[in-house]
Each structure stands twice: as C-alpha cells, then as structure tokens.
Structure 1
Amino acid sequence: MGSMDDDERKPAQKQRSRAQTLIKLTLLIIATNLLTIFFISPTIKWTDYAPKLPFWDAETLIRELNELKSHLQTPPKLNDWPTDLSGELKLVVEAQKLPLGQNPNIGAAELYPVLGAACKRHQSDLEQYMSYEIGGTCPSDEVFAQRLMLRGCEPLPRRRCRPATPANYVEPRPAPAALWSVPPDQTVVWDAYSCKSYGCLVRRGKTKGTYDCKDCFDLEGREKRRWTFDDGKLDFGIDQVLGMKPEGTVRIGLDLGGGSGTFAARMKERGVTIVTTSMNFDGPFNSFIASRGLISMHLSVAHRLPFFENTLDIVHSMHVLSSWIPEVVLEFAVFDIYRVLRPGGFFWLDHFFCEGSRLNSTYVPMFDRVGFEKVRWSIGRKLDRGAHLNEWYLSAILEKPMS
C-alpha cells in the first residue's frame, strides 16, 4: 500500500506529465511549421537564424535540411529574368524554340543562351551593353565589356552589330617573321587604350608607372630572353622541360595569362601549339598575340577552361596564378587545370608568389590535394618589394598521374 506522501505526489506528477506533453506538442508544431516555410521559401538563408533555433544540435539539423532541400527544389530556369525586359536583352536571355522541335542531343525543344549567370546581378549594365543599332557598328565599349566579364558576367551575350575595323588596315606580316615583329599600328582600334600606338607601348616599359605586363610589347628586351635558359633554380628553360618527356609527345597546350604571347612563340619554334589566354588591361594584348601568328583567347582567370578533359599535354602559368587570387578560386582553377591535362601532362607553375608563412601551410597542401606529382620543385625569395615582406617564389613542374 502507498503512503499518504505517495498519494499527494501523484497529482503533481500527472500535472508535470501533462505540461511536458504540451511542451513536446508545441515544439513539434513549431518544427513542422519551420520545415514547411523552409521548403516553400527558396530565399531563406538558415545560417542567419541557426543560433536562435531551440534544437539540441542545430548545426547537424541545418546541414541535413539543406541537403534534403537541394534534392527537392526545382532547378532555377536559365530564362528566369524579370518580365519587363525588352529589345536585344530580352532576345538573348530567353530560351528560343528549336524549329524542328525536340532535339535528342540537347534533350529539349528549346535552345538556351550562353550567358554568364552573374549577368543577372548587373542588369542595368547589361542593358547598356545590349543597346546598339542592329546591323550597325558596335559601340566602342571594350573597357566596359571587359569590366562586366571581370565581375562574373562571362561569357557576355552575342550581339548583332559589327565591331569597328581599324583605319587603313594592313595585312599582317608573314610567318615566321611575324613571330618576333611588332605589328603595324593599323591592326588595332586604339580607342580603349591610353597608348595610341605600339611604339608608345614599347616605350612604356622604360617609363615610370605601374601597368599590367609593363614591358611585354618590347620584343627586343626581356621578352627575347624568356625561357631560353635554365638557371637550375626558379627560371626553367623550355628545352629542359620538354626534355623531360619523350620527343614529340608535348604537342598542344595552354598558357594562362600569357601577356603578349612570348611563351607560345617559343613553343611554336619547337613545334608545339599553345593557346594563350590574356585580358586587355590598357593594351591590345589579344590583338598583339594574334598578329604574331599565335592563338589568343580573351578569358579571365575565373573562367572554366574551354577544353575537354584529358586533352592537353601542358598548361603553363607565370605570375598570374598566385596568392593574389582568393584561395577557393585558386583551388577551383588548379583542379580545372588537372581536368584538361591528359594523364602524364605537365602543369608548369612559373614563379608563383606568396607570403612565406602561407607557402607550406596553404598552397603546398592545396597542390597535394589536387593530386599532382612533383617532377621539379624550386623555391626562392621574392625581393622586388623588399625583404621585410617575406615573399617567396615557387617554380614547379607538376605531373598528372598516368592512372
């Protein structure tokens, strides 16, 4: 038999039990409502609210909910733009119906435009870029267009206008003389640049001021000597690098941020075809490269490389891929280089620079994570801005494994 104390405790225990049940039901209703809002509202960022959630393990719950949401949400449509678009911009952002209907290769009855997703963030600029006379001469907006590219609006949409033709255009110099000749001024429209002639660009290398690839247009200066010798340290010679592979097996490749194309010129002399990417930072770099009889490609360092996987024998980058690039963006770029290189292909990392404290803590582990094997590896001090900055160079030949 229970005591009188037991009888007195029973009502209190029942009251507490009912209160606990009520609390659990209330929490269940709140959680259900939160889940409902989560799934119907794609704009909610749960990281903004995570600390306020009354769950015992909010971080795990949020991660699982986000994973589930990514599977259940409908992918955004490429043509999901505001309805008030008009003119050329409306035409280039909307999907266009295929005249013959469903295409099995595309898997759709519409053709979607090639347009950088970030263009949507810069609609007013894009509308300005797409304002022109159809069939007429395109506006002189090279700097404006390139700025859009560097802000992530890449690729830009096509336009139905013709770029201005250089005044009194002359034929390029014949090969092989063109390889080491400064092109005629009449091969360039100079509107976008502070210099209005190649002579000005050549002299700029000897003047004060900071410019991108300042002395690249002076083919009789330092450009004439690049990659022609190997000092056994940071400066690798092309012949020494090519000698690491069986003769004739390095045939095609890419030079990222290749300035005026001298690396490609040196490789062409050795029977290797190199595509050079370059931006036009106050100079007609792409026009200059093409006038030398080389292949230029107007791409930023953030652009996915327009090559299929396992196709290139060599990828080279001097200075451009370095610590000035955000770490995550750089790692994406290095993985993309790995993607396009064939097994056994070389990634020639030429004078990569960074702070000494980050070389072993950040960048060496990054290259290891990507999966390259070290074939040649040299480090040395970068002293042009002063020893107190503790900056270092890394030059390396990294190989994609054969399997």
Structure 2
Amino acid sequence: MGSTEDDHFQKKHHDPFKTKYMLIKFLLIIISTNLLTIYIFTGLLSPAASAADSTILLLLRELNHTQTELSVTRSQADNLNLQLQTTNKLVETLVAELIHFQQTPDSNSDDISEEVQLATGPHKLPLGINSRTGIDSMYPSVGGACWKFPDELAQYMNYKVGGECPTDDVFAQKLQMKGCEPLPRRRCRSKSPIGYTDPKPLPDSLWSTPSDTSIVWDPYTCKSYKCLIDRKHAPGFYDCKDCFDLNFREKSRWILDKSLDYGMDNVIAMRPKGTIRIGLDIGGGAGTFAARMKERNVTIITTSMNIDGPFNSFIASRGLISLHLSVSERLPFFENTLDIVHSMHIMSNWIPEMMLEFIMYDVFRVLRPGGVFWLDRFFCFGSQMNSTYVPMLDRVGFNRLRWNVGKKLDKGKDEWYFSALLEKPMT
C-alpha cells in the first residue's frame, strides 16, 4: 500500500512533461489576453480616440477665437474709456461756460454794474413779438471778449449818466484790440473841440491840412497837426509816420505804375468802365487811397485805428468816410456788395496765420463776383511766401489778375513784398 501511494504522489507532482505543458499553456493565456487587450484598444477604441482629439482641437480653436474677441473688446473698452474722459472734459467746459453766462447781465448779477446791464440788454420790444423777425427782445451788439475783461469793462462804463464822457480814447482802443469790439454804447456826451470851425469844402478838403480846432487832442502826444507833420523827421517808430503830410509822399501815391506799386488808373481800367463804384480800404492810414478814388468818382470807406494819432478825425476832415475798426473784426458789409477792396501794409505777416485766413475769406465774402482785391505791398519772409501765403490765397479761391514780387532792401534780410490784383470769380 505504501509503495503504491508513493508512486502516485511522484507521478502527480514530479511529472516534468506535464509541468512544462502547464507553464506553456499559462504563458499562452497571458499572451493571448495581452494581444486581445491591444487589439481592443488599438482596433476598437481608436475611432473614439480620434473623435476625442477632434473635439479637443475644436475647443482649442474656440478658445483662441474667444481670446481674440476679448482682446478686441478690451481695446474697444479702452477707446470708450478715453472718449468718456474727453466727454467729461467737454461737459466740465460746458458747465463752466454755463456758469459764466449765468453771471452775465441776464442774471442781474451784483458783480456787474447797472449801466453795463442796461447797455448790454436784452430789452423787451414795447409792442411784443415782431411778426417779421419772430423776436420779442433786442440784444445790443457787444463783443464777446468784453466779458473776459470785467474790470476794464467796468472802468469803461464808469461815468456820469447824461454828463461828459471821460477822455479815454486810448484806453477804449486797447480794449478793442483785446477783442472787446464793438464796445457797449454809453449814455454820456463825447467831448467837442474848443473853437470848432466848419471844414473846408470839397474838393479842396481832400488835400488840405485840417484846422487844429477840428480835433480833441487830449488822448494824443502831439497837440497840433504841425507836430504830426514834423514827426516824419523824428527818431523812433510811429504808425504811418509821414502820412499826415499831404504834400510829401501821400501826394504821389498810386499815380505811377511800376513793379510793386500799381497805378490806380491802370487798376480801374482792368474792369469794364464805370463798374468800380464802391469799395473798402482796410487800414487806410490817413485816407489818401479814398481821396484818390473820390477824384475818380469811386466811393471808398476807410477803416483805421487811432494809434499814435487822430487818423479817423483826419480822414473825416478830408471829406471822406472812416470806420474806427480793427482788422480783427468781421467786415460790416453784406456779401457780394463791394466792387473793390484794398489794403496796403496792414495785411502782412504780423497777423496770425489763421486769423489772416479768416480775413481773406471775409474779403472774398463782401466782394461781388468780378470784384477786385488789391493786396498792396504784403510783407513777409521769403520762406513764408510760397509755403504759407500763396497756398492761402489759392485756398480762398481768388483768380490772379496781376502779381509782382520784390525784395525789401533796407535791412539786408530775407524780407520780401508782394503786390497782387485778385479777382473774385464770376461763378
């Protein structure tokens, strides 16, 4: 018995062939399982993996697109923020202006004298709303810049109502030059010359020195016409230094035609006979251009300021029309009404470029079609002529009838004059 069991045990546990067979079988099972797993994951699941990859790529594209849109939105937000800041500044400016206007005479502010309030209005129409104009009040014309100088304005309006006006011509003119133009009206009487006599009759008055009693001399350094005539030999600079002497250079102006100096008869002859009838001389000094034109039956209004002398009074004494008007004020004429506008020396490079362009367009406005703008001895530097002033005149729209250029020789610098006859186009 014992031996049989031992044999069985040995056969069961020590058969080398069977053991080897079992190991091989086990290995095959493991390999098969791994192959099956690889097959399943590489074969069956690969389409799902590809779909997942596509989804991820799509999400990445959407994310990039969203980031781009966010960048654009952020840029737009920055621009809107900048515009908002600008708008806030404009609103602040408008609020400040509103406060300023609320402090004008309409508000009856205690800071403004009663006389200023009365002079600047408004004043209700006694018959109510005017059916033709649609207004129920009148607003006197006062320069907007007057409100920038309240102390000077108050000084100008400080006088005895119904009495004699202060002799403050120089002060008033400085206020005008600051842009307070027109000045408000005043309820006082201007001073009259002592011993006034009637002027000389036309045409003698055109070339005669007026009487000293025709002028109130208080505002001026010179107290007689002899003083004004003699100062052409005095040192120093004066506005229109020798033009009060009517027997000196004034006597020969615009007679001969050569280079920069145009003869008046030649200019008039460029237009059909009799069509140069009315016009304007801007900054016309002592009024000699108007006197020459009057001899040719042309009516010229002369604008002038009383700088260094009584120019407006002198022009009027010659029997001519003067306007006490600075070059910065809008011309007081309707459009398309004047045959000729002339200016000598006053229009030059001392005037700021933008202001000068406004003046040129204003001249264009008041000239009739075919009217002539005579720009007489315009002064500038050589570098300015073609870069600034020629393009400016072209922009305004004048046609050139005549053009002459000459160098200013007295100082040896790059300084030039040009004279021009310019026409407002017919259409």
TM range (shorter): 0.7 to 0.9
- Between structure 1 and structure 2, the one with the greater Rg is 2
Q: Is the 8 A contact 1:352 1:393 kept in 2?
A: yes
Give yes or no for the alignment of 1:41 onto 2:67.
Answer: no
- Equivalent residue number for residue 209 of structure 1: 236
Instruction: Please give the alpha-carbon distance, in whole angstroms, between the structure 1 residues aligned to 2:90 and 2:387.
Output: 40
Q: Which residue of 2 aligns with 1:70?
A: none
Question: What is the match of residue 124 of structure 1?
Answer: 151
RMSD of aligned residue pairs (Cα, Å): 2.9
> Measured at CA, do residues 262 and 26 of structure 1 come closer, stay the same or move farther in structure 2, by a change above 3 Å?
closer
Deviation of 1:255 (Å): 0.4
Between the aligned partners of 2:238 and 2:276, the Cα distance in structure 1 is 33
Tell me the SS of whatever aligns to 1:304: coil
AA paired with 1:278? S
SS at match of 1:41: helix
| Cα 1:39–1:368 shift into 2, 3 Å | closer
Which residue is 1:191 aligned to?
Answer: 218
Equivalent residues of 1:374, 1:396 under 8 A apart = yes
Shift of 1:106: 3.4
- Per-residue deviation, 1:220: 0.5
* CA displacement at 1:25 relative to structure 2: 11
Structure 1 residues 237 and 39, CA, compared in 2 at 3 Å: closer, same or farther?
A: closer
Deviations 1:132-157 (A, max 9, x none): 01111000100000000000000000
* Counterpart residue type for residue 268 of structure 1: K
Identity rate of aligned residues, in percent? 56
1:249 positional shift = 0.8
Residues 224 and 44 of structure 1, relative CA distance in 2, 3 Å threshold:
same
**Cα distance, 1:213 vs structure 2:** 0.1
Unpaired runs of 5+ residues, structure 1, are 46-72
| Alignment correspondent of 1:346 | 372
In structure 2, the CA distance between the partners of 1:243 and 1:122, relative to structure 1 (3 Å rule), is same
The answer to whether the aligner puts 1:178 opposite 2:205 as a matched pair is: yes
Equivalent residue of 2:357, what SS?
helix
Q: Per the alignment, in what secondary structure is the counterpart of residue 261 of structure 2?
A: coil
CA distance in 2, matches of 1:134, 1:167: 22
- The one-character-per-residue Cα deviations of 1:67-113 (angstroms, maximum 9, x if unpaired) are xxxxxx9xx78856672222211212331111111123433211112
Counterpart of 2:271 in structure 1 is 245
**SS, match of residue 245 in structure 1:** coil
Of residues 347-356 and 100-109 in structure 1, the stretch that sits farther from structure 2 once superposed is 100-109
Aligned match of 2:421:
397
Are 1:192 and 1:282, in contact at CA under 8 Å, matched by a contact in 2? no
Deviation, 1:253, is 0.4
Amino acid at match of 1:373: N
For the 8 Å contact 1:259–1:278, the answer to whether it is kept is yes
- Counterpart in the other structure of 2:167: 140
Contact (CA 8 Å) 2:145, 2:179: kept in 1 or not?
yes
Structure 2 counterpart of 1:120, which letter? W
Structure 2: distance between partners of 1:316 and 1:177: 24
The TM-score with structure 2 as length reference comes to 0.79
Deviation at 1:199, TM superposition (A): 0.6
What 5-or-longer segments of structure 2 have no aligned partner?
1-50
1:59 equivalent in structure 2 = none
Q: Distance in 2 between matches of 1:33 and 1:376?
A: 53
Aligned AA for 2:387?
Answer: S
Q: Which residue in the other structure is 1:254 paired with? A: 280
The answer as to whether partners of 2:113 and 2:154 remain within 8 angstroms in 1 is no
Instruction: Give the alignment partner of residue 127 of structure 2, picking from 94, 97, 100.
Output: 100
Q: Does residue 151 of structure 2 align to residue 151 of structure 1?
A: no
Tell me the secondary structure at the aligned position of residue 380 of structure 1. strand
Whether the aligned pair in 2 keeps the contact of 1:323 and 1:354 (CA below 8 Å) is yes
Taking the aligned partners of 1:36 and 1:108, their CA distance within structure 2 comes to 34
In 1, distance between residues paired with 2:107 and 2:426? Answer: 45
Please tell me whether the aligned partners of residues 81 and 93 of structure 1 are also in contact (alpha carbons under 8 angstroms): no
Over 3 Å off, 4+ runs? 20-45, 76-82
Change (3 A) 1:228 1:89: same
Gap change, CA 1:6 and 1:116, over 3 Å in 2: same
2:343 aligned with 1:330? no
Q: Deviations over 1:314-369 (max 9, x none)?
A: 00000001111000010000100000001100000000010001101110010011
Contact kept, 8 Å, 1:228 with 1:238, in 2: the verdict is: yes
Q: Does residue 1:306 correspond to 2:357, yes or no?
A: no
**Residues of 1 paired with 2:252 and 2:127: CA distance?**
56
| TM-score, length of structure 1 as denominator length | 0.84
Instruction: Report if the CA contact (8 A) 1:130-1:159 is conserved.
Output: yes
Change in Cα spacing, 1:37 to 1:402, as seen in structure 2 (3 Å) is: same
Within 2, Cα distance between the matches of 1:258 and 1:133?
Answer: 34
Alignment equivalent of 2:245, drawn from 214, 218, 224 = 218
Larger % of helix: which?
Answer: 2
> 1:248 and 1:110, CA in 2 relative to 1: closer, same or farther beyond 3 A?
same
> How far apart in 2 are the matches of 1:303 and 1:343?
23
Using the TM superposition, give the Cα deviation of residue 185 of structure 1 relative to its aligned residue in structure 2, in angstroms.
0.3
Determine which of 280, 287, 311 is the counterpart of 1:285: 311
